[in-house]
């Protein structure tokens, strides 16, 4: 006789089903985003145009105007969520995310240097963001590492570095010419407005090349959450897994910042929401990736439609929503503690 426990799906199966549902949600949200706007298109018209059977006008609007922005949002959201899931798993703390730990501020500092000091264009800003994120991650890693582990030091050091870099970024803005300052401020808020295929390609390289390697670390990361000693006993190469996952997460967050700016709180909220909805232990990398893509794209839709005649940058929307989520998370942890 089959018991209710036997009929209940396993955590792994539920995680797979939930991840698939998140992927479908991301696709639906993306198609809706492509079809909405001053020139509305139905779901069927968008699909037909993407398949190459739309009218010339539909093809131009979809392929040249709307699709690059949507693809950039999907990939940036996926990269941020995957990066946040890795950080939260490594530090074993829901507050572990690139924007809390200072990596996003480092990418912003690199981009500001490219704009204010170098005077470069979009390519220089993207390169500066990636280099700034990598340099900041190296500094935080060296400052936080002690006796072969991190503990909560990574969060504390990251918050301190983020504070320093916030001051540096503010100073760089005061040094900028008015046009450069306006361009830099728009980038710092996090925006998908005007994003083209070049921006999508920047984050696509990271997601397609680095993403699979990070996802492959999912099982070792879940074991590593038990502690270094149990992970060693179970055959996990702790140092290699930690360094590889951390390097991949840094590259993903830097690439997302280069493409869309330092969008806040997606990396913080998406992994926690994915973990709660799947009910599965471990970092839940694939569900987090899919949910992050859907969240950032949906937030961009809200930013475009919330105020008629005006566009709110997606970073403002995610900041408002994510800030509320962070307050709730801290209040819940306080009540539990």
Cβ–Cβ under 8 Å, residues 203 and 147: no
**Of the candidates 255, 234, 264, 270, which has an alpha carbon nearest to the alpha carbon of residue 86?**
270
Percent of the residues in the chain that have a pLDDT greater than 90, as a whole number: 23
Residues 6 or more apart from 159 whose CB is under 8 A from it? 100, 101, 102
pLDDT, residue 4, reads 42
Residue of 336 and 301 predicted with greater confidence: 301
| DSSP string for 246-300 | HHHHHHHHHHHHHHH----SHHHHHHHHHHHHH--SS--HHHHHHHHHHHHHHHH
**What does the pLDDT average to over 276-293?**
87
Q: Does residue 300 register a pLDDT over 90?
A: yes
Its pTM stands at 0.87
Percent of the residues in the chain that have a pLDDT greater than 70, as a whole number: 92
Residues 6 or more apart from 165 whose CB is under 8 A from it? 102, 105, 106, 108, 109, 136
**What does the pLDDT average to over 204-230?**
87
Q: Does residue 1 register a pLDDT over 60?
A: no
Between CA 107 and CA 132 the distance in angstroms is 4
Q: Does residue 55 register a pLDDT over 70?
A: yes
**Of the candidates 76, 108, 106, 125, which has an alpha carbon nearest to the alpha carbon of residue 300?**
76
Reduce the secondary structure of 155-187 to three states and give it as a string.
HHHHHHHHHHHHHHHHHHHHHCCHHHHHHHHHH
Task: Judge: domain 11-336, CATH 1.20.1540.10.
Answer: no
The region of weakest confidence among 4-8, 99-103, 224-228, 236-240 is: 4-8
pLDDT digits (tens, 9 = 90+) for 66-107: 999 999 999 999 999 999 999 888 888 777 788 878 888 888
Most confident range (mean pLDDT) of 122-126, 240-244, 250-254, 278-282 is: 250-254
Q: Does residue 46 register a pLDDT over 50?
A: yes
| DSSP string for 58-125 | HHHIIIIIIHHHHHHHHHHHHHHHHHHHHHHHHHTSTT-SHHHHTHHHHHHHHHHIIIIII---HHHH
Most confident range (mean pLDDT) of 58-72, 138-152, 161-175, 231-245 is: 58-72
- Alpha-carbon Rg for the chain in angstroms: 20
Between CA 249 and CA 257 the distance in angstroms is 12
Q: pLDDT band at 186, cuts 50/70/90?
A: confident
The region of weakest confidence among 8-12, 65-69, 139-143, 233-237 is: 8-12
Q: Does residue 5 register a pLDDT over 70?
A: no
Within 10 Å of residue 16's Cβ, how many Cβ atoms? 16
Residues 6 or more apart from 142 whose CB is under 8 A from it? none
pLDDT, residue 85, reads 92
Cβ–Cβ under 8 Å, residues 292 and 82: yes
pLDDT, residue 38, reads 83
Cβ–Cβ under 8 Å, residues 20 and 278: no
Cβ–Cβ under 8 Å, residues 322 and 264: yes
pLDDT, residue 23, reads 93
Dihedrals phi, psi of 95, to nearest 5 degrees:
-85, -5
């Amino acid at each position: 006789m089959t018991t209710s426990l036997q009929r209940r799906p396993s955590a792994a199966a539920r995680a797979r089903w939930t991840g698939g549902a998140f992927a479908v949600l991301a696709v639906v949200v993306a198609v809706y985003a492509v079809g909405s706007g001053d020139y509305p298109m139905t779901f069927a018209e968008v699909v037909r145009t993407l398949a190459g059977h739309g009218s010339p006008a539909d093809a131009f609007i979809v392929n040249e105007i709307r699709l690059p922005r949507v693809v950039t949002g999907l990939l940036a959201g996926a990269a941020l969520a995957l990066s946040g899931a890795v950080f939260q798993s490594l530090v074993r703390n829901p507050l572990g995310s690139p924007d809390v730990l200072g990596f996003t501020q480092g990418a912003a500092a690199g981009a500001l240097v490219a704009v204010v000091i170098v005077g470069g264009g979009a390519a220089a800003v993207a390169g500066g963001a990636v280099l700034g994120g990598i340099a900041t991650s190296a500094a935080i890693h060296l400052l936080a590492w002690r006796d072969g582990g991190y503990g909560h030091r990574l969060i504390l050091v990251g918050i301190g570095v983020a504070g320093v870099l916030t001051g540096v970024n503010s100073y760089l803005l005061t040094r900028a010419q008015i046009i450069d300052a306006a361009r830099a401020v728009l980038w710092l808020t996090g925006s998908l407005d005007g994003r083209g295929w070049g921006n999508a390609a920047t984050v696509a390289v990271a997601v397609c090349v680095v993403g699979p390697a990070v996802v492959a670390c999912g099982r070792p990361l879940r074991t590593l959450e038990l502690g270094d000693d149990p992970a060693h006993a179970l055959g996990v190469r702790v140092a290699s897994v930690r360094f590889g996952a951390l390097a991949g997460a840094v590259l993903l967050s830097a690439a997302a910042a280069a493409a869309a700016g330092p969008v806040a709180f997606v990396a913080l909220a998406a992994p926690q929401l994915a973990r709660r909805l799947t009910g599965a232990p471990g970092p839940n990398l694939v569900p987090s990736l899919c949910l992050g893509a859907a969240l950032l794209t949906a937030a961009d839709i809200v930013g475009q439609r919330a105020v008629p005649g005006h566009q709110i940058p997606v970073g403002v929307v995610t900041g408002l929503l994510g800030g509320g989520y962070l307050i709730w998370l801290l209040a819940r942890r306080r009540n539990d503690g």
